[in-house]
Chain A
Amino acid sequence: MRLGQFLAAGWMAASGIAFQNLGAQDPAKRAWELELKGEGAEARTQLQRAANANPNDPLALEAYAGFLDHHRDPAARAAYEKLRQLLNRNRASTSERAKIAQRLTELDLIAGDRLNAEKHLEEFHSLGGKGLNLPAQGAAAHPDFIEIPGPLRSFARMSAVSPDVGPEEVMASLSHNITLNGYSALRASESLEPTEYLKLIMRYLTQAREIEKLAGPNQILKIETCESTQTGDLLRILGYRMRGSCGGDVSLETVNPSRAFLTIDSGFPLSVLEAALRTNRPFTLDYHPARIPVMFGAGYWHPAGGKPVEFIDFFIGDPALCRLYSAMSALDPDTADQLHKDLPAAKAKVYAHVWDFFGSILELRDGKAVVPGGTRAEKMWTELLGVGPDKGTTFYERLVEKDDGWMASYFDSLARISGPVQAYLTEPERLKRFYTAMRGRVTSPGPARPVFRANTDLVLLTTRMRLDADGRPHLPGGIMVWKNLFASKNGAKMDPLLAKAAPGWKEPEQVLEAMFGLSRKMAENEPLKIFMALTDVERNRTKPLEANTIDLLVKEYRELGAQYSLFAEVPTLSDATITAYMEAARGISLIKDVPLRADAAGTLQALASFWQIFVRQHTIPPGSADATLAAMVQPFAKIQGQREIGQREIFDGGQKGVQALLTAARAPTSGSAQDHMMDLLAGTKPAGSARLSDAHQQMLQDMTKVFEAQRLVSLDTLFALADRLEAAAGGTKLDVPAANRLAGRITEIQLPRAALSTRERAEQSQGYYADRHVDTERRLNLRQAIERAGADPQKLRDIRASLVPVLRDTLVGLNYVHYAPPGAQVLFTNPAFVRGHDFYGTADHIRTWQATEVMGTGWPANAGGRLSGSLISLPYALAAAEQNFLIPTREQALIWGDLVPQMIVSAVVPRWWEVTPNQLHWIGLNMAYADSLLARSALDEGVRERVRSVMDRYMPPARMKKVDRLLAAGDVRGASENVVPAEMYLAARELAAADRDSALARELRTLAAAASQELSALAISRAFGTPKPTLSTSYQPELLSLRTFPTLMGYSSRIMAESWESNLLFYAALADELHLRPAELNLRVPEWTQLTVERIFATHLEDWPALLRALRLVGEDVRQKARKLTVAQN
């Protein structure tokens, strides 16, 4: 049986379709075959036609409904409803009818239609169905409310709270913002002063109270006519006055700028008022105060007896209280409730900062504190804290108080991980030993004192460390490497105590203990950073690197460490090639002639980056990856410092490198090198396809536009001219007109004239050598040089060598082209952006091999921004340069500085040319199954328990509890809005294997059995994972299935963004739902990502629910457009 037939049979069996009626089977079978070819839309059309043509054929209706259901198509409900009615009319078997009624109940719940769910569930019961019950809706909570003057929208604007946030979340968002932005410490004093942000909120409240008073007891602001006295009163409060007499001439002008600012900034409908005055019509505004729920009631936060002051004023006036509120709102609700009973706010707020940063992972179950390591570790936790987890809130209270928050941060980092590493670290003796190492002697300042959590390295260490097969921690290179490092001069300088202890180390655990010790330090902890980077380099290697190689990597970390992601991404690299690359880089760094050094570094890095791309895209087979890099690196091993000789070597190296890449990627041996490179960068052509697909064509067009916008010279032109010159230098007569034509193509490329005046240029501090590079190219007059050279071989070779800067730009530019972010405004606007790449930096800070960074933003600091450093993190730097060109769809939206570039990187680095329809459908089907799991969780306590057991590992306790409560109240839609796509996928993946009741689970198993290679965890991880340059030192896309990280010092939201794996899974499921071909993801994902970013309306840096909302909005827009198109096409 062929795969298609096998799957079709499996799917029909899973859907309950029997092989009785061949006529009716055909559409289902054909649909499957079409799907396998990526033609899901056609499959849907055929099934729809079959269902419409045979309205009394249950098999046709079921085939259509099942297909829709398995693609999360909302039309599935209507299709099943038709089937249900038909089965009832036909008096089909009760089991068949019950099955449809059950599925309808689930789909109703997913759609948030409780009424129909109840109806269908009743039918299910009437047909003998058992085991499912829809719980009663939870009683509405009756929280305490406070009133804030004026409309909620205005208050939200002033306090920078997203309008998408529901009233129940306003206080939490407000307290978070006040914690972060409301106060600043005065220099030379501990006291905090309100910031301008907070002062504006306070002034707004005063203004709102005045308007409220004017609105009177009805709280409706009404201005009857332009001439009324109230008009003047209102305008005075608003800070405006009328210019011109009432009627068409009137306009409002500022009289009190402070008040007017508040009026505009709070979104008071001034233009409506102005229009009313101009037309002499009444102006009415509902000015009821906003009613906002307050957790535990106002009394908890503001005990009676104080000065009579409105709650909101009291609240925002106390930063510690705001921080405590922010912390409590992130706690698991049961834990928070117990804490509020046991601990008065006045006492709790002393450690509000610790609760705020490390409280969200804490959880009470049955009054007992849940601890990392479980029962086995409880005794040691008791010893460490002096009170046992069974004491519940007292245990947690002690935890946050201990060591200025270090104990809480340790607890937090251990609770975030799971599996063998957590088991290893929470072994009771190690638990104590590593804590002691981390704590050190002095605990101040605590990790919760700064604005961001200061336990970054501890969190990264526990997340990234790994264990060997023997259960011991993995030490790259073995223990001697680390002993030597700590005992070295540098090591001794960084930590004398560890340097002293190092010679006595015998066990890997001792090295790990030292790493825990270093994780406390914010500076001078380089060995820890090396340890984590090298752990990542070795993570996917089948054969560890030799000690000598590791030793070299350790020694060169400071200068070349950023390059290690190249080695981490390709685990098949040999020690020899890694060493050769390192030595070549080292040699280039020794070149004294800075422009020559920049050309050498730029050319080698560009070639290495192509290699990285081609290996990632599988255009270079894994077996040839090592040899190809080695061949490319070899010519750069010893570049001469003398310019002409060095340039010649670099040009040869560049040309040979391109040839080596094309050969390794099996490009045609004849034809244009430029075209071959562009084709390879655009992506692989589908096997057996003679023509490029539409998606490829589009991709090529987009890339060509960027290449042209940067006015780069084609490789063909460069190589052709170079070959002619080389041949002429060897004695062949030079065809001068032909050479001049080629030279003309190079020099006719009009580089923009220098934009800056001398004075403006003098103000620049960055990029001297990059500007010199552009100037050199601007002055290049090849025609003249060729004419002057005559037949002099030396001069002809020198001309060839002078092409090096141009070749470097083309090679570097092709990398920019490949990683161009959506929109690419910088690349389209600044034609010297690629040429301006600064491979040097400054004499004080040479950046040749460092991570790529954006420099020189803002006028007049520089003539536009440019990228500086190596090409190693080019995707991120390009994304960072582009992020401020994204246009939020609403005012006041917060575009996150670190999250957005990572989102763009995740849309640009992975390519989906090799993704199969099966893989795409696998994600869609898992998501459909996850929906179904949530629906069944609402109907069946047993299923809910199973779902909880999985999601608990990924969700923070507070959200898990919320989801659990919503499901327990039958609110499936509400619950699913709180589960991120990555969690949905993980739950489905883990639970499908053992689920014997669900047709979707059966189909997942059938699919997995039929295409086990395509659907293996590794294949799916590669297909829909995201690059994690910080978390795994690699741009290789992968799914790590981590809990979403918080913001961390030194990284802001960058690590949080890397741990967010939901976007691509969401887009893949969306593509499956809309029956897109997998290759279309290459165009759609960047487009959808841009739309998503533009719709993010976040309140603060950790407001990932805003990201989830944006994803869903984009999903809905895309669905609607696709449906309109389908209707139009039909």
Chain B
Amino acid sequence: MLLRLALIFLLVALAVAQDRPTFRVKVDLVVLSYTITNHKGHYINGLQPKDFKISEDGIPQKLASFAEGNKPPMEIQPDGSMRPMQVSEQGRTEGRPDAVVGTNVFVLFDTSNYMYRGFVYASDAIADFIRGLDRADSVAVYTYSRNLTRAAALTKERNDAVSGLRSAVAGDDSALYNALLLTLRDAARVPGRKVVIVFSNGPDNASMVAPDDVRAVAEDEGIPIYVISTNEVTKDPISSNVFKRISTGTGGKSYFAKTWQKQVEAFEAIREDLGNSYTVTYYPQPNPNEGFRKIMVEVTSDAGRKYRVQARPGYRPQRGF
């Protein structure tokens, strides 16, 4: 029961008038996905909750659930033992926001003029990626040029997603970061684990929001951004740097894949990342920090100290009424 309660930490004194809305800082469930790799870059699997120490601003956190890859989620008991959560055949866990099953994958496809030449090859690579996703995963396909288009809503039906993808229409200007922001907003509304995969040529000539502001939204919502750029890393160094920054800053990765083959490989790498990641949930311990809260994931074993953890660096608690 306690787990279901949102923790309200701090009231911000905005007003005391009888009918004046009160603005609060509040933190609900935190969903955290991360991968562990050794010095050769190989994924380390089979670790258990006891193998991790997760803290926020140095404050240790108590895990509510734990899942590895696309295996069913486990509820962590007060004594540290685990028991499987009830998951329906459709992979749903009604009423349990901490029961994370599969990944909600949002593919954001650049259909602006900049992608004119590579449009059809990109479409093929994305179609392959969608078909190759784990059964537990859901996928949505969004496209963008000046505006965002929700080509296929989040679905487990691969054909629906591919059909949406194949209906994409080539556009004009590119507002990548506007579109990424809107995709993140949609993803944030979906419970459970989610990632956004951006497939883009890189340039943006129409966005109103800056990449780092969008990255901050992804950080706060706990949504890793993976980027596949169809440009070479050296061609447009500023865009390449931005891609690296927004992906690593959110726990994702960036790939520079000019050829179709490289794009397929990039998708394969993302799929592997999703299949080899750990996902934990927790309700944060009291913390007076209203600003950026730094998350630290440590592997407690001696060997683990040499492992590389890829996770989002932290988040800012949300404020609302």
Q: Which residues of A contact B (CB under 8 A)?
A: 157, 239, 251-254, 257, 260-261, 264-265, 267, 270-272, 274-275, 672, 675, 691-692, 697, 700-701, 704-705, 708, 714, 750, 752, 755, 757, 759-760, 763, 825-826, 829-831, 854, 857-865, 881-882, 884-888, 890-893, 895
Contact = CB atoms under 8 A, between A and B. Distances in A.
Interface stretch (B33-41, B91-99, B222-230, B234-242): B234-242
A702 to B, nearest CB: 10
Interface stretch (B79-87, B121-129, B278-286, B306-314): B121-129
A763 B238 CA distance: 10
B315 interface: no
A752 B143 CA distance: 29
B146 A251 contact: no
B186 to A, nearest CB: 9
A861 B15 CA distance: 41
21 contacts: A157-B169, A251-B124, A251-B131, A257-B117, A260-B120, A261-B170, A264-B123, A691-B19, A704-B21, A708-B23, A760-B241, A825-B208, A829-B181, A858-B174, A858-B204, A863-B212, A864-B208, A865-B209, A884-B147, A884-B207, A895-B146
Contact of B20 (A239, A253, A700, A831): A700
Interface in B126-154: 127-128, 131, 143, 146-151
A116 to B, nearest CB: 40
A692 B15 CA distance: 14
B211 A859 contact: yes
B217 interface: yes
Contacts of A254: 120-121, 123-124
A200 to B, nearest CB: 9
Nearest to A239: B120
Contact of B128 (A251, A275, A675): A251
Contact of A825 (B121, B128, B174, B181): B181
Nearest to A262: B120
Contacts of A885: 178, 181-182, 208
A504 to B, nearest CB: 53
Contacts of B291: 750
A267 B151 CA distance: 13
Contacts of A895: 146-147
Contacts of B210: 755, 830, 859, 862-864
A1016 B269 CA distance: 69
B213 A700 contact: no
Given A261-B170, A264-B168, A691-B19, A704 B205 contact: no
8 smallest CB-CB distances across A and B, nearest first, come from: A864-B210, A755-B212, A858-B205, A260-B120, A271-B163, A865-B208, A859-B204, A860-B238
A697 B19 contact: yes
Contacts of B212: 752, 755, 863
Given A825-B209, A857-B207, A861-B205, A752 B19 contact: no
B204 A887 contact: no
Contacts of B18: 691
Contacts of B239: 859-860
B216 A752 contact: yes
Contacts of A760: 238, 241
A893 to B, nearest CB: 8
B292 interface: yes
Given A257-B120, A264-B166, A857-B207, A829 B214 contact: yes
Contacts of A275: 159
Of the listed residues A261, A829, A854, the one surrounded by the most CB atoms of chain B closer than 10 A to its CB is: A829
A638 B182 CA distance: 46
B15 A675 contact: yes
B119 A261 contact: yes
A270 B166 contact: yes
Interface of B: 14-15, 17-21, 23, 117, 119-121, 123-124, 127-128, 131, 143, 146-151, 159, 162-163, 165-170, 174-178, 181-182, 185, 203-214, 216-217, 238-239, 241-242, 291-292, 319-321
B124 A253 contact: yes
B156 to A, nearest CB: 16
B19 A261 contact: no
A859 to B, nearest CB: 4
B179 to A, nearest CB: 9
Given A750-B291, A861-B205, A887-B147, A271 B166 contact: yes
Nearest to B215: A755
A675 B175 CA distance: 37
A700 B15 CA distance: 12
Contacts of B242: 859-860
Contact of A857 (B151, B208, B292): B208
Given A752-B213, A857-B205, A892 B169 contact: yes
Contacts of A675: 15, 17, 20
Which one of A264, A708, A882 has the highest number of Cβ atoms from chain B below 10 Å of its Cβ? A264
A697 B19 CA distance: 8
Given A675-B20, A830-B213, A858-B204, 18 more contacts: A252-B124, A254-B123, A261-B119, A275-B159, A691-B18, A697-B19, A705-B320, A755-B211, A755-B213, A830-B208, A830-B209, A831-B213, A857-B208, A859-B238, A884-B178, A888-B147, A891-B149, A891-B167
A859 B207 contact: yes
A887 B181 CA distance: 12
A1093 to B, nearest CB: 10
B213 A829 contact: yes
A1096 B131 CA distance: 33
A262 to B, nearest CB: 10
A265 B148 contact: no
A261 B238 contact: no
Nearest to A705: B320
A252 B124 CA distance: 8
Given A705-B320, A755-B210, A863-B212, A672 B124 contact: no
A265 B123 CA distance: 12
B162 to A, nearest CB: 5
Contacts of B151: 891
A271 B159 contact: yes
Given A859-B211, A895-B147, A704 B23 contact: yes
A891 B15 CA distance: 45
A701 to B, nearest CB: 5
Contacts of A863: 210, 212
